[in-house]
């Protein structure tokens, strides 16, 4: 499955890696010295809170990260009740660990003549409520979305999966910021090789600061120079769980509502949870529409360019006259028309994304109506080109995952270029190029374009059409799941009627 | 290595530029072309060019107009070259709808006109070919017919004629194999400019070899000829005089809509090398109009069927003798002789033999529908 043996790679990893780690400083016997070194570690920051407790020691914490109520209720009350409240299990003895704990909202208790520090979870964050992710709206189905709190996100996943084999593994990344990341998978489904590969790749992920899983994604994805996303990033717990159940893993970072799912295949980007909550005719129809929009999104502008610049014989006579009429007074070659219109469109959409709602609507009106009609009136762009670009944009927006939809629009630019240089032949070659790339691409060692390449007819029940759910009795084999059978025979009752 | 490859790819993309682009907006679209013979032996090319009207850019529906241009030359290509000097843009014959050939020109071998169409790849192979009574120039110079620009109107007229089984479906592409085939002749639709500046289909112009014979089959009979050659189209209707004894003229006729469902040509060669052919057709008949009788009884239907059969047989015999007289082997009997009796074929001069052979039409008719009145 993987090209090199893991053993050799591991050795290479240990030998060739520059270590970021600094030799940890242990806590000393002296209370004041310990407090001073903590203060120094935090460079005398003003939000460093201290509270002395008679006969016990000193509590030290970051005021901005803790909930004062929790300190009062949990620690002070507990300490008053009995000395047994302090347990050895909740201790650390390295200064670095103390700092890490404090950065996570823990409160540290330092005692005189004691080389260990006790910690208490007093984290007090403000979280936003669970709402539907604005980038992945659906009509029917769960409207839950991830939020910025890791434990809430894991809770959402666990509540949906309700599986004792669901494993959550915490990892920390970033030498200077300690971002917490959870890797989630279902132990009796996921292939161990995939997991091993993931851990191996993550072992290289050493950086000063890892802001979001987006950083990790770029560290561990197979091909950085591919236009296609090789990990599915989603804000929907139902999507994550559905993928976990097919033997995939998810990476969720703290303070980020995005989950990364891999190994993923191309067609997953064209599926929406909606499809599975409606009848399969509707689901299939919508999937087909989306795959059609994939083709429109990439090829329509280039086809139009190729037609008006090379092969106008292929369109019907009357339509050709209409095209000629609209083009007659446009001073630019079609490629300039197309690229400039596409850029205008991207500008409008980018402006509308950045601005608050009510102003964004104004942008839509100004951009869509005013620019659109004025540009045609001034003969800068032909009517037909406006239609083509608008269709392309709408088509690309139907793809449920934003990343893929932008990729599709991006792929349209070289296609237009190929169409304007070489006509239909250019487009054919460009499409072949994309297809070859897709066939070769891998996501964590698994074929990205499966089940088309390698072709597995049996598994094409959820690519172009969505077959009824009871027809998909087996999980996709590309993830090499341990248990291939997804369900028994849910329609068995039909025979016994 | 990698850098060289990238450099080469960049060169390919950047340096090609737009050298072989043929922008639609720069073209002058020729949509109808007419050829005539001039007295000095040169060709006269009359071209209908589609041009957007001035002020019709930007928003709104673009309006088109027809510009008629004339040029001369020894060959079609030469006349095109002289035309290219005049037109404002690239002369583009890739979307020609109709080629119109003048009567005078068609009487000579017409292949030299078509040669360039088959040689040069960007020609319109789907274009219709028609023969104009008189000169093609007169027809194309009409410019507007029935509120349509000339070539568009001509195309529509031809298409509806084809649908009604008046004229064969002939295009530049379809006529090509026949032009080269000694065992089969073709016919072109014939159109004429009527007195009130309209265009009408007058029938099929019969060709012998690649030359126009000067004989036409009128639209009355051309349907029969097409059926005999298994070329029926969407609608095949005939008005047959079945009751000549009736006083009122309206009562003499029956109008039928036929659906040919069997077609077969059998060739036989006797010991004395006499070629004869039997053309067998079976027609299913819908009676569309028959004022005399409502055909509710089986007997009436049977007697009508017999009369219809007679009329069809007479029609078929007439049209066959007509094409034999013109020496136009439209049914491709020569090709069949060539295929089944190659020795006989090699021994005779088909052009001499064809008018003398026996061709017997055998028509079977069956009335399957007499309409919704009972």
Which of B112, B119, B95 lies closest to B47, judged by CA?
B95
pLDDT tens-place string over residues A163-205 = 888 999 998 888 777 788 899 999 989 989 999 999 999 888 8
> Do residues A426 and A294 share a domain?
yes
Residue B334 maps to a domain: yes
> Do residues B204 and B348 share a domain?
no
Contact at CB, B63 and A334, closer than 8 angstroms: no
What is the maximum alpha-carbon separation in chain A? 97
Residue A8 maps to a domain: no
φ and ψ at residue B367, rounded to 5 degrees: -80, 120
User: Which residues of A are less than 8 Å from B58 in CB distance?
Assistant: 329, 376-379, 383
Q: Is the CB of A313 inside 8 Å of chain B's CB atoms?
A: yes
Residue where a domain terminates, one of B218, B250, B274: B218
pLDDT of residue A85: 66
Distance between CA atoms of residues A332 and A292, nearest Å: 30
Chain B, nearest residue to A306 by Cα: B21
φ and ψ at residue A27, rounded to 5 degrees: -75, 150
> Do residues B170 and B241 share a domain?
no
- Closest chain B C-alpha to A308 CA, distance in angstroms: 5
Buried b (16+ CB within 10 A) or exposed e, A236-266: bbbbbbbbbbbbbbbbbbbebbbbbbbbbbb
> Do residues B308 and B264 share a domain?
yes
Contact at CB, B23 and A328, closer than 8 angstroms: no
User: Which residues of B are less than 8 Å from A420 in CB distance?
Assistant: 18, 21
Which of A247, A261, A259, A251 lies closest to A168, judged by CA?
A251
Residue A481 maps to a domain: no
pLDDT tens-place string over residues B303-347 = 999 999 999 999 999 999 999 999 999 999 999 999 999 998 998
**pLDDT surpasses 70 at B57:** no
Buried b (16+ CB within 10 A) or exposed e, A30-43: ebeebbebbeebbe
> Do residues A163 and A106 share a domain?
no
Residue A145 maps to a domain: no
Contact at CB, B52 and A328, closer than 8 angstroms: yes
> Do residues B149 and B259 share a domain?
no
> Do residues A307 and A215 share a domain?
no
Is residue A1 very low, low, confident or very high in pLDDT (cuts 50, 70, 90)?
Answer: very low
- Closest chain B C-alpha to A384 CA, distance in angstroms: 10
Token pair belonging to B58: 């930007």
Contact at CB, B95 and A320, closer than 8 angstroms: yes
pLDDT of residue B197: 87
> Do residues A107 and A165 share a domain?
no
φ and ψ at residue B372, rounded to 5 degrees: -95, 0
Identify whether the C-beta of residue B35 lies closer than 8 Å to the C-beta of residue B105. yes
pLDDT of residue A5: 44
Residue A121 to residues A45, A66, A103, A117, B196, Cα–Cα distance (Å): 21, 9, 11, 13, 101
> Do residues A260 and A208 share a domain?
yes
Torsion region of B311: left, alpha or beta (phi above 0 gives left; psi -120 to 50 gives alpha): alpha
Distance between CA atoms of residues B267 and A71, nearest Å: 111
Chain B, nearest residue to A380 by Cα: B58
Identify whether the C-beta of residue A123 lies closer than 8 Å to the C-beta of residue A67. yes
Comparing A253 with B374, which gets the higher pLDDT?
A: A253
Distance between CA atoms of residues B143 and B155, nearest Å: 13
- Closest chain B C-alpha to A224 CA, distance in angstroms: 18
CATH number of the domain residue B292 falls in: 3.30.300.210
Domain count of chain B? Answer: 2
What is the rounded average pLDDT for all residues in chain B? 90
Distance between CA atoms of residues B122 and B117, nearest Å: 8
> Do residues B202 and B318 share a domain?
no
> Do residues B214 and B242 share a domain?
no
> Do residues B268 and B336 share a domain?
yes
Is residue B199 very low, low, confident or very high in pLDDT (cuts 50, 70, 90)?
Answer: very high
Is residue A12 very low, low, confident or very high in pLDDT (cuts 50, 70, 90)?
Answer: very low
What is the mean pLDDT of the segment spanning B8-33? 82
ipTM: 0.85
Residue where a domain terminates, one of A264, A285, A311: A264
Q: How many helices (H) and strands (E) does chain A have?
A: 17, 12
Contact at CB, A317 and B95, closer than 8 angstroms: yes
Residue A129 maps to a domain: no
Size of chain A, expressed as the number of residues it contains:
497
Residue B224 maps to a domain: no
Residue where a domain terminates, one of B158, B184, B218: B218
Contact at CB, B20 and A320, closer than 8 angstroms: no
What is the mean pLDDT of the segment spanning B248-271? 90
What is the mean pLDDT of the segment spanning A95-99? 84
pLDDT tens-place string over residues A204-235 = 888 878 777 888 888 898 888 999 999 999 99
Residue A130 to residues A38, A152, A356, Cα–Cα distance (Å): 36, 9, 21
Residue A44 maps to a domain: yes
- Closest chain A C-alpha to B25 CA, distance in angstroms: 5
Peptide bond into B358 cis (omega under 30): no
> Do residues B266 and B325 share a domain?
yes
User: Can you list the pairs that A348-353 forms with residues at least 24 positions away whose Cβ atoms lie under 8 Å?
Assistant: A349/A393
Residue where a domain terminates, one of A426, A446, A466: A446
> Do residues A379 and A440 share a domain?
yes
Distance between CA atoms of residues A225 and A215, nearest Å: 15
φ and ψ at residue B315, rounded to 5 degrees: -60, -45
Which of A63, A270, A250 lies closest to A153, judged by CA?
A250
pLDDT of residue A7: 45
**pLDDT surpasses 60 at A8:** no
Residue A53's Cβ-count burial label (10 Å; 0-12, 13-18, 19+) is middle
Is residue A383 very low, low, confident or very high in pLDDT (cuts 50, 70, 90)?
Answer: confident
Residue A18 maps to a domain: no
Structural element, H or E, at residue A71: none
Least confident range from A334-338, A464-468, B277-281: namely A464-468
> Do residues A196 and A221 share a domain?
yes
- SS3 of residue B145 by DSSP: strand
Which residue's structure tokens are 């083009």? A327
pLDDT tens-place string over residues B95-147 = 999 999 999 999 999 999 999 999 988 889 999 999 999 999 999 999 998 88
Residue B152 maps to a domain: yes
Chain B, nearest residue to A376 by Cα: B58
Contact at CB, A313 and B62, closer than 8 angstroms: no
Domain that holds residue A259: 150-264
3-class SS letters over A141-168: CCCCCCCCCHHHHHHHHHHHHCCCCEEE
What is the mean pLDDT of the segment spanning B226-244? 89
pLDDT of residue A88: 67
| CA B371 to chain centroid | 32
Is residue B38 very low, low, confident or very high in pLDDT (cuts 50, 70, 90)?
Answer: very high
> Do residues A280 and A390 share a domain?
yes
Handedness of CA B145, B147, B152, B157 (dihedral sign): negative
> Do residues B175 and B280 share a domain?
no
- Closest chain B C-alpha to A335 CA, distance in angstroms: 10
Structural element, H or E, at residue B139: helix B136-140
Handedness of CA A308, A311, A313, A314 (dihedral sign): negative
3-state helix, strand, coil in chain B (%, to 5): 35, 35, 30
> Do residues A365 and A399 share a domain?
yes
> Do residues A307 and A337 share a domain?
yes
pLDDT tens-place string over residues B139-177 = 999 999 888 999 999 999 999 999 999 999 999 999 999
Residue A11 maps to a domain: no
- Closest chain A C-alpha to B49 CA, distance in angstroms: 12
Chain A, nearest residue to B27 by Cα: A324
User: Which residues of A are less than 8 Å from B61 in CB distance?
Assistant: 322, 325
Torsion region of A480: left, alpha or beta (phi above 0 gives left; psi -120 to 50 gives alpha): left
Collect all residues with Cβ–Cβ distance below 8 Å to A455 and sequence separation of at least 6. Answer: none
Residue B290 maps to a domain: yes
User: Which residues of B are less than 8 Å from A327 in CB distance?
Assistant: 23-25
**pLDDT surpasses 60 at A6:** no
Is residue B60 very low, low, confident or very high in pLDDT (cuts 50, 70, 90)?
Answer: low
Residue A288 maps to a domain: yes
Residue B124 maps to a domain: yes
> Do residues A283 and A408 share a domain?
yes
Distance between CA atoms of residues B5 and B13, nearest Å: 12
Which residue's structure tokens are 């004989």? B215
Is residue B46 very low, low, confident or very high in pLDDT (cuts 50, 70, 90)?
Answer: very high
**pLDDT surpasses 90 at A441:** yes
> Do residues B274 and B342 share a domain?
yes
**pLDDT surpasses 50 at B74:** yes
Domain that holds residue B145: 23-218
> Do residues B150 and B245 share a domain?
no
Q: Is the CB of A320 inside 8 Å of chain B's CB atoms?
A: yes
Residue B230 maps to a domain: no
Size of interface A-B (CB pairs under 8 A): 84
Residue B16 maps to a domain: no
What is the maximum alpha-carbon separation in chain B? 97
**pLDDT surpasses 50 at A162:** yes
What is the mean pLDDT of the segment spanning A323-327? 87
pLDDT of residue A17: 44
> Do residues A198 and A230 share a domain?
yes
Domain count of chain A? Answer: 3
**pLDDT surpasses 70 at A19:** no
Residue where a domain terminates, one of A422, A446, A470: A446
Residue A225 DSSP class: T
> Do residues B213 and B244 share a domain?
no
């Amino acid at each position: 499955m993987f090209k090199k043996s893991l053993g050799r790679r591991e050795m290479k990893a240990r030998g060739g890696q520059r270590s970021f780690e600094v030799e940890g400083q242990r806590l000393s016997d002296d209370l004041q010295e310990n407090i001073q070194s903590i203060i120094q570690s935090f460079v005398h920051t003003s939000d460093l809170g201290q509270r002395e407790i008679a006969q016990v020691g000193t509590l030290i914490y970051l005021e901005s990260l803790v909930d004062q109520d929790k300190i009062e209720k949990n620690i002070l009350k507990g300490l008053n009740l009995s000395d047994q409240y302090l347990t050895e299990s909740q201790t650390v003895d390295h200064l670095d660990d103390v700092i890490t704990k404090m950065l996570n909202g823990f409160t540290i208790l330092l005692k005189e003549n004691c080389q260990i520090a006790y910690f208490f979870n007093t984290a007090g964050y403000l979280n936003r409520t669970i709402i539907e992710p604005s980038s992945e709206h659906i009509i029917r189905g769960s409207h839950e979305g991830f939020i910025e709190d890791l434990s809430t996100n894991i809770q959402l996943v666990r509540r949906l999966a309700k599986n004792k084999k669901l494993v959550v593994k915490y990892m920390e990344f970033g030498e200077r910021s300690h971002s917490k990341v959870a890797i989630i998978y279902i132990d009796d489904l996921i292939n161990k090789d995939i997991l091993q590969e993931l851990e191996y790749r993550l072992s290289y992920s050493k950086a000063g600061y890892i802001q979001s899983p987006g950083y990790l994604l770029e560290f561990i994805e197979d091909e950085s120079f591919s236009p296609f996303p090789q990990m599915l990033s989603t804000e929907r717990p139902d999507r994550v769980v559905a993928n976990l159940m097919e033997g995939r893993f998810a990476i969720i970072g703290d303070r980020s509502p995005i989950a990364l799912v891999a190994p993923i295949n191309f067609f997953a980007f064209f599926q929406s949870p909606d499809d599975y909550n409606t009848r399969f005719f509707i689901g299939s129809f919508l999937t087909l529409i989306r795959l059609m929009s994939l083709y429109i999104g990439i090829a329509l502008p280039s086809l139009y360019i190729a037609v008006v610049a090379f092969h106008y014989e292929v369109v019907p006579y009357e339509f050709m006259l209409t095209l000629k009429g609209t083009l007659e007074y446009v001073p630019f070659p079609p490629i300039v028309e197309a690229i400039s219109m596409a850029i205008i469109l991207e500008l409008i959409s980018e402006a509308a994304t950045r601005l608050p709602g009510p102003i964004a609507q104004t942008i839509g009106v100004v951009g869509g109506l005013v620019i659109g009609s004025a540009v045609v009136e001034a003969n800068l762009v032909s009517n037909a080109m406006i239609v083509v670009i608008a269709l392309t944009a709408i088509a690309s927006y139907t793809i449920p995952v934003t990343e893929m939809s932008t990729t599709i629009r991006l792929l349209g630019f070289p296609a237009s270029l190929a169409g304007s240089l070489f006509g239909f032949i250019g487009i054919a070659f460009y499409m072949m190029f994309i297809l070859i790339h897709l066939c070769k691409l891998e996501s964590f060692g698994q074929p990205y374009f499966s089940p088309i390449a390698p072709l597995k007819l049996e598994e094409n029940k959820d690519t172009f059409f969505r077959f009824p759910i009871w027809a998909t009795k087996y999980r996709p084999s590309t993830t090499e799941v341990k248990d291939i059978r997804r369900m028994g025979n849910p329609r068995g009752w039909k025979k016994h009627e | 290595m990698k850098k060289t490859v990238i450099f080469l790819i960049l060169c390919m993309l950047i340096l090609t530029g737009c050298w072989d682009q043929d922008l639609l907006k720069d073209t002058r679209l020729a949509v109808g072309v007419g050829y005539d013979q001039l007295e000095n032996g040169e060709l006269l090319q009359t071209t209908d060019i589609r041009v957007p009207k001035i002020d019709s850019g930007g928003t709104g529906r673009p309006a088109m107009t027809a510009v008629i241009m004339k040029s001369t030359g020894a060959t079609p290509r030469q006349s095109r070259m002289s035309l290219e000097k005049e037109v404002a843009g690239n002369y583009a014959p890739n979307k020609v709808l109709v080629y119109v050939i003048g009567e005078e020109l068609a009487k000579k071998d017409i292949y030299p006109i078509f040669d360039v169409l088959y040689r040069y790849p960007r020609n319109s192979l789907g274009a219709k070919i028609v023969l104009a009574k008189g000169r093609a120039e007169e027809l194309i110079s009409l410019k507007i017919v029935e509120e349509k620009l000339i070539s568009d109107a001509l195309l529509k007229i031809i298409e509806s004629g084809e649908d009604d089984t008046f004229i064969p479906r002939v295009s530049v592409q379809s006529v090509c194999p026949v032009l080269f085939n000694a065992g089969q002749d073709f016919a072109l639709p014939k159109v004429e400019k009527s007195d009130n500046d309209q265009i009408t289909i007058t029938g099929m112009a019969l060709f012998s070899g690649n030359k126009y014979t000067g004989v036409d089959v009128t639209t009355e009979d051309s349907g029969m000829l097409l059926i005999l050659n298994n070329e029926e189209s969407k609608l095949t209707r005939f008005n047959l005089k079945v009751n000549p004894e009736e006083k009122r003229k309206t009562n003499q006729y029956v109008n039928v809509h036929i659906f040919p469902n069997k077609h077969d040509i059998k060739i036989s060669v006797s010991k004395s090398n006499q070629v004869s052919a039997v053309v067998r057709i079976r027609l299913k008949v819908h009676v569309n109009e028959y004022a005399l009788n409502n055909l509710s009884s089986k007997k009436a239907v049977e007697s009508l069927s017999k009369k219809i059969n007679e009329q069809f047989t007479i029609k078929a015999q007439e049209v066959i003798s007509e094409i034999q007289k013109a020496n136009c082997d439209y049914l491709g009997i020569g090709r069949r002789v060539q295929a089944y009796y190659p020795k006989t074929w090699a021994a005779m001069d088909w052009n001499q033999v064809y008018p003398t052979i026996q061709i017997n039409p055998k028509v079977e008719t069956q009335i399957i529908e007499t309409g919704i009145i009972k």
